Amino acid sequence: MRRELSSGAIVVAISLLSLSLVRGQGVPDRPQGVTAGAWISLNPRLGFVVAPAARAPVAGANALLVAPPVEGYFMIKGETGWSRVVVADPMKGPGGTG
């Protein structure tokens, strides 16, 4: 019985893996309109788009120690193309718990 369950689990895992590899095969490697220099590929279906910096560089001693933060957004590849991922703030708990 356990051998059948473990064999079934392996078959399901292989099926899901192959399905995820097949999805999005006809979609380009990066979203349309995103230059190669602005695209950071994390895996074949997920990437990060670096947005152009809107602020002027920081002058002074801090500019030598810490680079300014990079702004951008995540994109995920689906069956029909690329979609922008929006990360929403989770709900906070009562008081100072969240």
Residue 11 lies in a domain: no
- Indicate yes or no: pTM above 0.85: no
Residue 57 lies in a domain: yes
Residue 95 lies in a domain: no
Alpha-helix residue ranges (DSSP H) falling in 1-98:
2-22, 61-65
Residue 10 lies in a domain: no
Span 27-54, mean pLDDT? Answer: 88
Residues 69-82 have pLDDT tens digits of 788 999 999 988 99
Residue 94 lies in a domain: no
Residue 1 lies in a domain: no
Range of the domain at 49: 26-85
Order across the sheet with 82-85: list the strands.
39-43, 46-50, 72-77, 82-85
